Structure 1
Amino acid sequence: MTAKSETKVEVDLLVDPIGELVTSRHRRGPARGQAMAEIERIKDGAIAIRDGEIVLSGKRDQVLSRIADRSACTVVAAGDRLVSPGLVDPHTHLVFGGDRADEFMMRCQGKTYAEIAEAGGGIVASMRGTRSASLADLVASGRRRLDRMLAHGTTTCEVKTGYGLDRESELRMLTAILDLDAEHAVDLVPTFLPAHAVPPGKSRGEYVEDIVSDILPAAARLLDERGLARHSIYVDVFCDRGYFTLADTEAIFEKALSLGMRLKVHADEFESLGATALAAEKGAASADHLLAITDQDIDRLAGSGTVAVLLPGTSFYLNLKEHAPARQLIEAGAAVAVGSDYNPGSCHIFSLPMIMGLSCLHLGLKVEEALTAMTVNAAFAVGAGDRIGQLSEGYQADIVIWDVGRLEEIPYNMGFNPVGTIIKKGRVVPAS
């Protein structure tokens, strides 16, 4: 606790006692390099909250000595359990229609992602299911998925469109995301991704022109009509072999920036086309996937404000031997976050505790780095690092009380959900 004085504070919720309190503390930007492993691990801690915001956090005796009237607050006892910030998922596709369970079995029989897509599966299969779904259908299924994510410790997540692939369907997806954000305990960060694949019946060039001249302006109008700032939304492009070129990506980025929107990119998943360098140059919040990133682009990321979002669940789910070079990125000084990539096809995994285990197993992250990657750095990857992702004074009180006693037990226990209690904006919320 970094108290400047011993002034007493009013509190309405107190988490006390805490067996071990774990958090990164990086207010000015994401953690990089060695700092990713430098987290606070406080034995016998406590957290005091007022009006949904953390006002005191640290050693129990220090926190309790600062509370004006302990009898006036609700107490949540963590006992000897672990307490961390709520987890932040910086990359999901959780709004969609239909399912792709058959594709999973095809992959089990040896079919590749590309072969499935060429046979009419992949993103285009989800396009068909999503186009046939009503707004109410998309909201209802999205709500169920968010309930499950919350139960596994996710308190904020980014959500992309990208399964509509025409103006009407993409706007319906965006509307569903905005509606879910308004109603659900989990805070959503919307990302507009019409450039996820080329729809049947269009050439790539025709569709890029549609995105630039029609679909992006329509999304901007939708935000205006709902009274939402345009910079509250990100625009993303799947820049990779067989999807969109670097020139396509630059054209879409330029239009998005002219409309006041922010940027993200799917980059270097299959092949490096230069999207990571473009993202760093244009000030994108994140470049995601990065399995095929070059050494030169690792250095570019390290010298930029763009966060590298790694998605180990996707490599695992696709049964790939290749993984993003997490250790090289960290050692170069890049800011690394980790997300689920929860989607109907290439990674149907929403559990960030499981993803934490995979990030340790397959990316070589230390457990402290994994926590930082899923809290502070993930928060900066979605533009919210100034208010979520850490248990520091002045931050939103998004907290997970785990049914384990040590941080190491989260990735160790991949076979069950170790979440006990969720506190969101200072309020205990149902986690199931």
Structure 2
Amino acid sequence: MPDCYILSDARLAPFAPPDGDGYASDGVIVVDHGKIGFVGSAGDLPARFEDAPRRSVGGCLITPGLIDCHTHMVYGGSRAREFEMRQTGASYEEIMNAGGGIFSTVEATRAASDEELLASALLRLDAMIADGVTTVEIKSGYGLDQDTELRILRTARALEDHRPIRIKTTFLGAHAYPKGMSADDYLNEVCLPAMAAAAHEDLVDAVDGFCESVAFTASQIERVFVAAHDLNLPVKIHAEQLSDQGGAELAARYSALSADHLEHLGDAGIAAMAEAKTVAVLLPGAFYALKETQKPPIQKLRDAGVPLALATDCNPGSSPMTSLRLIMNMGATLFGLTPEECLNAVTTIGAQALGLDDCGRLEVGQRADLAVWKFDDPAELSYRIGDAPLEMRIFGGEIC
């Protein structure tokens, strides 16, 4: 395609024109040198773009490219056997305490070559791309030693060399700690030095930690946050998934980009997140796979004005999922989000959860990361299950 072209005959969402609630069929987007040069009604197209080549999308819906703001998609091995265990009644904690869970993935990831890690991650990434995703966050955390944590992050960075995708990396060394080693010793001897090494190698965009009864205490995660602050890295947290450990409040004190999971989030955590403008990243895939029954406090989060994002939590143990559109459906059916909330959750708010302000909105100056869908009603994105309605995916202005 030329450097400047027009996508015409489109429905645009999420988009709020000054005098209406969207365009049924006459919306246009100008893609100008990789960015959005104009978005709105065809009748309002600036004269300077009149002669640009046009490509009709035939009434299709155009949205920002979808953003998956929480994944663990670089790992080795499979945990299908654990799925069998869960079907016979074993809990997440029981599997971990028996030496399964994350530790089996750590072993498989350490044993995998760089080429194997890349190849398996590309398979998952290709499924996401086919779902209209243009930005993916990827966490480390399946190494629990410095070498493997860095290899995971290098593999994540390398994905951009193989696919038209934007990758944001997160250091999650504080995911668990190895057997035979205390949590504090692990932080001192492995996690914090590995974080510094990752930052020195420019492999990390943010730092995360798992604050939970089966992982790290709030005071231990605070040590991670202090170290991240010293490295000028923003933080986020896995919090209140299985119990309320005060993780969300801690994250808010450090102006965290997001607090994720949140099924057991209490009122104090909600208030702290609202004040800090920390995004709540909801992960219904893990809720579903683990057969949880306590839902995040959605209405309280709404009432407090906490932004709501959705993500796949793509990982081998608790959310072996690559479809962000299925997550949108789950966000609606399991958590009660509206279709409009679901779309915002994987575009505008998904970008906010990653600290990005140049994508996720149909606005002039934004990156031209776009998804064109074979329907004109935005509710279809949350309504449909299992089909492939993507007509076209545009990344940085390039149709791919």
Distance (Å, rounded) in 2 between the aligned partners of 1:141 and 1:135: 10
State the match for 2:14 in structure 1.
23
CA distance in 1, matches of 2:387, 2:285: 16
Amino acid at match of 1:416: D
Q: Alpha-carbon deviation of 1:362?
A: 1.3
Go from structure 1 to structure 2 and tell me whether the alpha carbon gap of 1:25 and 1:139 turns closer, same or farther (over 3 Å shift): farther
Deviation at 1:65, TM superposition (A): 5.2
- Paired with 2:192 and 2:133, the residues of 1 have a C-alpha distance of 36
* Match of residue 219 from structure 1: 198
For the Cα contact (< 8 Å) 1:24–1:372, is it kept in 2? Answer: no
Tell me which residue corresponds to 2:337. Answer: 365
Residue of structure 2 equivalent to 1:428: 399
Cα distance in 2, alignment partners of residues 321 and 212 from structure 1: 33
**Aligned match of 1:105:** 84
CA distance in 2, matches of 1:222, 1:416: 41
| 2:150 corresponds to which of 171, 175, 196 | 171
Q: Does 1:390 align with 2:361?
A: yes
| Alignment check: 8 A CA contact 1:23 1:40 kept | no
- 1:401 pairs with 2:372: yes
Structure 1 residue identity aligned to 2:49: I
How far has the Cα of 1:370 moved from its partner?
1.0
Identity %: 37
Match of 1:47 in 2: 29
Counterpart position of 1:132? 111
**Residues 172-191 of structure 1: matches in 2 within 5 Å?**
172-191=151-170
Query: How far apart are residue 68 of structure 1 and its match?
Result: 3.7
1:132-182 per-residue CA deviation (whole Å, 9 max, x = no partner) reads 011121112112211110101111011000000111110111111111134
Once the two structures are TM-superposed, the CA of residue 398 in structure 1 deviates from its matched residue by 0.8
Deviations 1:74-105 (A, max 9, x none): x4322122111111111000100011111112
Q: Distance in 1 between matches of 2:68 and 2:278?
A: 16
**Counterpart of 2:135?**
156
The answer to whether the 8 A contact 2:24-2:376 is kept is no
Q: For each residue in 1:296-334, what CA deviation from the matched residue of structure 2 results, as whole angstroms up to 9, or x when unmatched?
A: 211111111211111111101212222212222011111
Give me the whole-angstrom Cα distance separating, in 2, the residues matched to 1:63 and 1:125: 56
Instruction: Name the TM-score, length of structure 1 as normaliser.
Output: 0.88
Counterpart among 300, 320, 326 of residue 354 in structure 1: 326
| Cross-structure match for 1:258 | 230
Amino acid at match of 2:256: A
The aligned counterpart of 2:295 is: 323
User: 2:246 is matched with which residue?
Assistant: 274
Structure 2 residue 6 is matched with structure 1 residue 14: yes
Query: Quick one: distance in 1 between partners of 2:55 and 2:129?
Result: 18
**Is 1:58 paired with 2:40?**
yes
Structure 2: segments with no counterpart, 5+ residues = none
**d(CA) in 2 for partners of 1:270, 1:200:** 21
Pair 407,162 (structure 1): closer, same or farther in 2 beyond 3 Å = same
Q: Is the 8 A contact 1:113 1:122 kept in 2?
A: yes
Query: Which 10-residue stretch deviates more, 60-69 or 346-355?
Result: 60-69
Q: Say if 2:395 is the partner of 1:413.
A: no
Instruction: Give the whole-Å Cα distance in 2 for the aligned partners of 1:15 and 1:195.
Output: 45
Letter in 2 for 1:43: A
Please state whether the residue corresponding to 2:24 is helix, strand or coil: strand
Q: Which residue of 2 aligns with 1:35?
A: none
Q: Secondary structure at the match of 1:41?
A: coil
**Contact 2:16–2:22 (Cα < 8 Å) also in 1:** no
Q: How does 1:52-91 map to 2 (within 5 A)?
A: 52-63=34-45, 67-70=49-52, 73=53, 75-91=54-70
CA distance in 2, matches of 1:175, 1:25: 39
Contact 1:356-1:370 within 8 A present in 2 as well: yes
List 4+ stretches of structure 1 deviating above 4 A: none
Task: State the shift of 1:415 in Å.
Answer: 2.5
| Aligned residue identity for 2:388 | N
In structure 2, do the counterparts of structure 1 residues 105 and 212 end up closer, same or farther at CA, with 3 Å as the change threshold?
Answer: closer
Specify the code of the residue in structure 2 equivalent to 1:263.
Answer: V
Output the CA distance in 1 between the equivalents of 2:191 and 2:176.
15
User: Are the equivalent residues in 1 in contact too, given 2:240–2:263 (CA < 8 A)?
Assistant: yes
**Paired residues of 1:25 and 1:391 also in contact (CA < 8 A):** no
CA contact (8 A) 2:212 2:241 kept: yes
> Per the alignment, in what secondary structure is the counterpart of residue 238 of structure 1?
strand
Mapping for residues 114-125 of structure 1, pairs under 5 Å = 114-125=93-104
1:85 and 1:402 map into 2 onto residues whose CA distance is 11
Q: What stretches of structure 1 of length at least 5 have no aligned partner?
A: 1-9, 27-38
Distance 1:314 1:282 in 2: 26
Residue pair 2:6, 2:28 contacting (<8 A) in 1 also: yes
Query: Hey, what's the Cα distance between the residues in 2 that align with 1:40 and 1:206?
Result: 56
Moved more, 298-307 or 47-56: 298-307
Contact 1:298 1:332 in 2 (8 A): yes
**Residues 40-99 of structure 1: CA deviation (Å, up to 9, x unaligned):** 5322211111111000111122237552413xx3x4322122111111111000100011
Residue matched to 2:174: 195
Distance 1:168-1:90 versus aligned 2 partners, 3 A rule: same
